[in-house]
Structure 1
Amino acid sequence: GLSCAKYLTDAGFRPTVYEARDVLGGKVAAWKDKDGDWYETGLHIFFGAYPNMLKLFEELGIEDRLQWKEHAMTFNMRQETNATANVDGATYSEFNFPEFLPAPLNGIVAILGNNDMLSWDEKIKFAMALLPAIVQGQKYVEECDQYTWTEWCQKQGVPDRVNDEVFIAMSKA
């Protein structure tokens, strides 16, 4: 909404933005509560490979405010798992994406390196499912537009547990 309004304004239009909430912004927003504490919502993950977002930040003059962090995703796991990292009685598992590799290769390394949430059988099935996308690129992605994510996973033989406990949780983050 706000990004669209910015580009419409740049093109000479005078857009009106309607918000469902009493704060500006959709996925990305910030506001103070009645006690004066700041609350922020934002992208659950942001990659340097998002050229349109980077261009928008540059146009807004805020690209120097980005604070790049090492890419890792942490999951709070069920207690009955074999995860090794325990903090205050909770069990966590991380997917660590190495900085020295570009996407999607860093994602493959992150998946292969996580032994708490994925068995080797699940890793191999998911890796095999990703191969056509890596090899064929955008052509393959467009061919798969007819499927939902869950349908694609099922078609590729990705176990339901991997979809439910890893990817659905990741998309809701």
Structure 2
Amino acid sequence: MCNNCKSEEMVKNFKDEAIDTSLLNPVIEKYGKVKGSLINILQATQDIYGYLPLQALNYISDNTDNKKSVIYGVATFYTQFRLKPIGKYLILQCQGTACHVNGSKEVSQALCEELKILPGETTEDGMFTLEDVSCLGCCSLAPVLMINGEAYGNLTPAEAVKIIRNIRKEDLA
């Protein structure tokens, strides 16, 4: 894809919605002229919006020396970048060796059934996003989940479902 191409291909992969691009100005000021800082710019953009909106990528291209095709390539290559909004609660399911051996598959299946989504998806109400990860670095707690940065370990499928139900209950209160 060239820098002058229509964004049809990008629209298929990125959520195209109106955002406040002025929030990116401090990021552009800090990194915009620094060669090799595209990943820093994209990380900061994701910190601001929770994902990488198409309008933000266009704004970055228009205000730095990075072509849209390069920005698109970096954003889609690295798994750290999200192309669509995530739920209020991001559930990271460890699928590393220790977790796998200790039952992460069964925990994952229970969560998928409870949330009615598959890994990589967000619930219809926008409350939960479920993602598989290679390792959370909490092997002694296997199997483990991390929800918005808080680790839950030594889980059974029933305990994992109970955690989700408690979050829903507290969130609705």
TM-score higher than 0.5: no
Q: Which has the higher helix share?
A: 2
Computing the radius of gyration over CA atoms, which structure comes out larger, 1 or 2? 1
